[in-house]
Amino acid sequence: MEKICQHDILTQVEKPARYAGNEWNIVMKDHAQMDVTFALAFPDVYEVGMSFLGYKILYHIINKRDTYYAERAFAPWVDMEQKIRNHNQVLTSTETKTPIKDFDFVSFTLQYEMSYTNILNMLDLSDLPLYAKDRTEEHPLVLAGGPCAFNPEPIADFFDLFVVGEGEEAVIDIADVYKEIKAEQKSTGKQISREETLLRLAKIPGVYVPRFYDVEYKDDGRVASITPNHPSIPAKVEKRVLRDLDATEYPEDLVVPFLNVVHDRVMLEIQRGCTRGCRFCQAGMVYRPVRERKKENLRKIARTLVDKTGYDEISLTSLASNDYSQIQELIHELLDEFKEEKIGISLPSLRADKFSVKLAEELQQMRKSGLTFAPEAGSQRLRDVINKGVNEEHLIDAVTSAFQSGYKQVKLYFMLGLPTETDEDIVGIAELAEKVVEAYRSVNKGKTRGLKVTVSTSLFVPKPHTPFQWVGQLSKNELQRRRSVLQNAIKSKAITYNWHDPNVSFLEGAVSRGDRRLSKAIYQAWKNGCKFDSWTEQFRNREWLMAYQEVGIDPEWYAFRNFAYDEILPWEHISSGVSKKYLEIEYERALVGKTIEDCRTANCTGCGVCQSLGVDVVVWKGEEVQ
């Protein structure tokens, strides 16, 4: 196979650095000497893929093993795709420009439902059959992991296997089993079939092989049953979870990109999981329980990463970084350690309280760039429904102290269309933003000069494995109406309002709670030319809707319908460890606005993950586990 990304092609595309490879810290190995190879495929462009820590962790974990090799592959942007097709080439890896189809595994990271058409496009560009059933012994095994693997059904037909939950240990288990299979083939001279290979892989905890499950449907379209069709296959696939995050390897040789990526800095994952219990948040449910890394260990990792990458900023990442039990001490120690080298420390998410603002100030002594808060809902009633755990006083106190220390820009994130939302709640968003303006005035002698308050609303999309998984989305017309209610309620010129396209949210909603039948629609949408659906300039709403029509599937049935408690959910056979009963109780609590506390700091609220998976909340207070 002639290799692509040669000079003549690279000079003809936008951002050649996306495809060039040779970045600092990349790993080059000889394929001929390897036992198992992985093409780590990211279904979006380089800049997006290179910003995901989980993707980098897998690259590191696999490449640390002498005879396992992982290379990267990203979705080529439309100009590059055209070149590949025009030159009759195939998609290749970034490091050694090896065709994707020559790897043992093609492993996709699933972050967002709207990247599914890109997966099909990448398989097609790799000259691989799109449907798992059409792939034979000569093809690689196509696998996927990441948050969307918690409802793998809409894309189940395209994949040979999925990893549910945390992938660090599972990916090595998969490689080990595959290596044994290869060795056995070599020693016996007998070919082990793809079916038998998958059967052996399916015995690894957390591995889901869709072909070993049959799904039946009722006459009304709902799922009737999901049953394993082989005696050795479990009825439910339990997620993988790391018991001791602190003892898990951290990627030290981070690849340093040659072009600006979304998060171009050291990402220091200080903890995993979040137990605050926001009822719309899938990550908060599926990555339970909270497990912190030790402060001392983080210091060491930070030092190694800075030395090995040359980055001048360390971002303390996690779902809610200032919940880390020793956040203040950690920040002080890091500031102290890196002050000579002028390395900045940043926190990507802030809680709406004074403490957070104080931290932000310490971190940004020079640059007062702006603060972001996510109250999510405009009224206390609705914030209680979603269990957000912040109140207006926290927010106003926080912004007041920010304005007092010179900040002029505040971003506020909300959701429209949350369960039980009324127009009063929506107007509450505008009122809250106006109060932020008012807080600025009171600090700045009645003036608003220089102030910029940005209100952004995303649209509520119910996600599997959350207390809101049963709730239908609102129609596009209703969402547009609610958006106008908010727009009309905003009076101050200091407030800018941004909103999300309801067409995208609707399609996302249909896929997120979808079942196996949706693969037809996704395939058809791709056939109709859809790709890069999360990129505004590429999104083709008409082609998506046509696709649904062409395959005779009603997306509204998936997006707008309320599921019943006793209904078999399409993801019923995938377990996050959090019990369905708990989610149901949580939904009932939501409807009456009853809040619950964070089990990291208060009592266990009974989600069941610690008991069912034998894992504990790990909060280091000093060196003691709390």
Q: Which stretch in 220-228, 367-375, 431-439, 600-608 sits in contact with ligand SF4 by CB under 6 A?
A: 600-608
Told to check if 585 binds ligand SF4 by CB under 6 A, we report no
Told to check if 605 binds ligand SF4 by CB under 6 A, we report yes
Q: Which stretch in 186-194, 356-364, 551-559, 597-605 sits in contact with ligand SF4 by CB under 6 A?
A: 597-605
Least Å from the CB of residue 353 to ligand SF4: 22
Told to check if 608 binds ligand SF4 by CB under 6 A, we report yes
Closer residue to ligand SF4 (CB): 249 or 588: 588
Tokens coding 96: 């050694």
Question: Quick one: which of 288, 351, 394, 517 contacts ligand SF4 (CB under 6 A)?
Answer: 288
Nearest to 213 by CA among 193, 196, 234: 234
Least Å from the CB of residue 280 to ligand SF4: 17
Told to check if 610 binds ligand SF4 by CB under 6 A, we report yes
Which residues, at least 6 apart from 173, have a Cβ–Cβ distance to it below 8 Å? 204, 205, 207
- Which 289-328 positions form the footprint of ligand SF4 (CB under 6 A)? 289
Nearest to 28 by CA among 70, 74, 88: 70
Which residues, at least 6 apart from 296, have a Cβ–Cβ distance to it below 8 Å? none
Q: Which stretch in 264-272, 392-400, 587-595, 603-611 sits in contact with ligand SF4 by CB under 6 A?
A: 603-611
How many of the other CB atoms lie within 10 Å of CB of 148?
24
Q: How far is CA 155 from CA 114, 119, 226, 383, 462, in A?
A: 12, 10, 16, 34, 18
354-363 helix and 327-338 helix, angle to the nearest 10 degrees: 10
- Which 94-123 positions form the footprint of ligand SF4 (CB under 6 A)? none
Rounded distance between C-alpha atoms, residue 410 and residue 501, angstroms: 22
Least Å from the CB of residue 97 to ligand SF4: 45
Told to check if 607 binds ligand SF4 by CB under 6 A, we report yes
- The most distant pair of C-alpha atoms in the chain lies apart, rounded to whole Å, by 84
Which residues, at least 6 apart from 22, have a Cβ–Cβ distance to it below 8 Å? none
Question: Quick one: which of 215, 439, 613, 617 contacts ligand SF4 (CB under 6 A)?
Answer: 617
Ranges of H-type helices in 459-608: 476-489, 502-512, 519-527, 541-551, 555-559, 580-591
Closer residue to ligand SF4 (CB): 441 or 580: 580
Told to check if 609 binds ligand SF4 by CB under 6 A, we report yes
Rounded distance between C-alpha atoms, residue 53 and residue 29, angstroms: 22
Least Å from the CB of residue 275 to ligand SF4: 5
Tokens coding 273: 């999981």
Which residues, at least 6 apart from 214, have a Cβ–Cβ distance to it below 8 Å? 225, 226, 227, 228, 229
Told to check if 599 binds ligand SF4 by CB under 6 A, we report yes
Told to check if 555 binds ligand SF4 by CB under 6 A, we report no
167-188 helix and 194-201 helix, angle to the nearest 10 degrees: 140
Amino acid identity of 185?
Q
Site string for ligand SF4, 174-203 (x = CB under 6 A): ------------------------------
Which residues, at least 6 apart from 500, have a Cβ–Cβ distance to it below 8 Å? 456, 457, 458, 459
- Which 252-281 positions form the footprint of ligand SF4 (CB under 6 A)? 275
Rounded distance between C-alpha atoms, residue 289 and residue 35, angstroms: 35
Least Å from the CB of residue 288 to ligand SF4: 5
Closer residue to ligand SF4 (CB): 461 or 599: 599
Least Å from the CB of residue 582 to ligand SF4: 8
Closer residue to ligand SF4 (CB): 604 or 625: 604
Told to check if 345 binds ligand SF4 by CB under 6 A, we report no
Least Å from the CB of residue 256 to ligand SF4: 36
Q: Which stretch in 193-201, 559-567, 568-576, 604-612 sits in contact with ligand SF4 by CB under 6 A?
A: 604-612
Residues near ligand SF4 (CB under 6 A) are 275, 288-289, 599, 604-610, 617
